[in-house]
């Protein structure tokens, strides 16, 4: 990808970025998230894994402040998402699994719209927006309406919008969906740079190789409960799976939960 992105280290490493305490959520008396606890440090790259319906997206939506929890507490760099939503949301970004764009806007207009929402300095927004669009090879179509874009182009535009205000916490639900190999590789590099600069990243993915390669720690959730958590060495130890890769560990835990 073209250009160099502005990366602003703004957070001391080892500061608690995300603290989730005893979080629960039910739908029609079915537990989607069951007394979940998570703690992420600044600069940590965390992968949140589980089968469909395990509770990943529900948890992420509660962290983002888009869904109210039944019980428990969520703090973003000390800001309580339930009682201090504005200050908590100002320092994070949420990227859903389906890109949410205004189709009648161009990529440049969309970034201008996002900049206005976050009250970003116009000069910074214009410079950083151009860098992001160039990075994702969208500069040539910056004045084309998003309605004609492919799934991958919409995904790239949505990611650019999420990164525009340089969030300290980045929540990404299946961010590599719809991206071709070259763009996916560039996104991996970009997220790694962001984490090294102090940004905290939590993502969901069904691609085990991405989680194993990028994440410093991995959490595996099933029926709303965290089954295992740690780096690869810790996951192998917790599951008595010496030398196993992440896919093997994940499938072993899933089989155990299914009684296989």
> Where are the domains positioned within the chain?
13-91+168-260, 99-166
Q: Show the low-confidence residues of the chain (pLDDT under 70).
A: 1-13, 259-260
Residue 181's Cβ-side half-sphere holds a number of Cα atoms within 13 Å equal to 0
CA distance 3 to 13: 27
pTM tops 0.85: yes
Q: Are strands 79-80 and 92-95 parallel, antiparallel or unpaired?
A: unpaired
pLDDT of residue 10: 53
Question: Do residues 239 and 228 make contact, with C-beta atoms less than 8 angstroms apart?
Answer: yes
199 DSSP 8-state letter: -
Name the CATH code of domain 13-91+168-260 (choices 3.40.1280.10, 3.60.20.10, 3.40.50.300, 3.40.47.10).
3.40.50.300
Burial of 242 (0-12, 13-18, 19+ CB in 10 A): exposed
pLDDT of residue 69: 97
Query: Tokens 């990243």, residue?
Result: 201
> In this structure, what token pair is assigned to residue 139?
């500069």
> In this structure, what token pair is assigned to residue 251?
């499938």
For residue 257, give the nearest of 235, 229, 236, 226 by alpha carbon: 226
> In this structure, what token pair is assigned to residue 111?
């970034």
Question: Do residues 23 and 69 make contact, with C-beta atoms less than 8 angstroms apart?
Answer: yes
């Amino acid at each position: 990808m073209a250009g160099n992105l502005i990366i602003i280290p703004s957070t001391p490493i080892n500061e608690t970025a995300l603290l989730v305490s005893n979080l629960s959520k039910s739908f029609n008396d079915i537990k989607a998230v069951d007394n979940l606890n998570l703690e992420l440090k600044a600069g940590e790259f965390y992968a949140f894994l589980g089968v469909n319906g395990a509770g990943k997206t529900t948890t992420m939506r509660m962290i983002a402040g888009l869904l109210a929890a039944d019980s428990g507490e969520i703090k973003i760099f000390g800001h309580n998402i339930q009682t201090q939503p504005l200050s908590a949301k100002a320092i994070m970004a949420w990227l859903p699994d389906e890109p949410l764009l205004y189709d009648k806007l161009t990529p440049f207009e969309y970034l201008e719209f996002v900049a206005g929402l976050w009250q970003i300095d116009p000069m910074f927004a214009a410079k950083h927006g151009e860098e992001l669009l160039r990075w994702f090879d969208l500069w040539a179509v910056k004045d084309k309406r998003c309605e004609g874009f492919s799934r991958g182009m919409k995904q790239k535009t949505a990611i650019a919008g999420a990164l525009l205000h340089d969030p300290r916490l980045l929540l990404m639900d299946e961010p590599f969906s719809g991206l071709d190999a070259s763009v996916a590789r560039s996104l991996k590099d970009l997220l790694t740079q962001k984490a090294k600069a102090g940004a905290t990243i939590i993502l969901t993915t069904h691609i085990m190789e991405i989680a194993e390669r990028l994440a410093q720690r991995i959490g595996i959730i099933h029926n709303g409960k965290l089954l295992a958590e740690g780096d690869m060495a810790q996951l192998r130890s917790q599951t008595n799976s010496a030398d196993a890769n992440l896919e093997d560990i994940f499938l072993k835990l899933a089989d155990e939960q299914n009684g296989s």
